[in-house]
A = this chain, B = another copy of it.
C-alpha cells in the first residue's frame, strides 16, 4: 500500500504535528504534513521564514493571517496559498474538534533551513 496523507491521524494532540513526507535537499525541497486539532500560533507570534512555503488545507478548517493583511483568511479543504519567504504570518484558529490536515511544500530551502 502506498503511504497516505490521511493515515494515522492522531486522535488528540498537545501540539501541532509535523511529519516530513518527502525531501530533496539538493533541490531545496521539503514536503510535510501538518496536523492541528484546535492549535493556533501563540498570541502575538508571527512566523518569519527564510524560504517560501506553498500550503493547502485538505481536511478540517483554519483561519490564516498575513501580517500585511488586515483580515484573516478562512481556509477550507482544497484552499491553497503561497507564503513567500519573509512574509510574516500566523495561524489564528483551527477547527476545535476535527483534524485539520495541511500539506506544506517548502521550496528554496538552503541546507541550513532543512
Contact = CB atoms under 8 A, between A and B. Distances in A.
Nearest to A26: B108
Total copies of the chain: 2
A13 interface: no
Contacts of A93: none
Given A27-B28, A52-B27, A54-B31, A2 B79 contact: yes
25 contacts: A2-B73, A2-B79, A2-B80, A3-B79, A3-B80, A3-B81, A4-B78, A5-B78, A5-B79, A5-B80, A6-B77, A6-B78, A7-B78, A21-B80, A22-B54, A22-B82, A26-B108, A27-B28, A27-B107, A27-B108, A28-B28, A29-B29, A31-B54, A56-B103, A105-B105
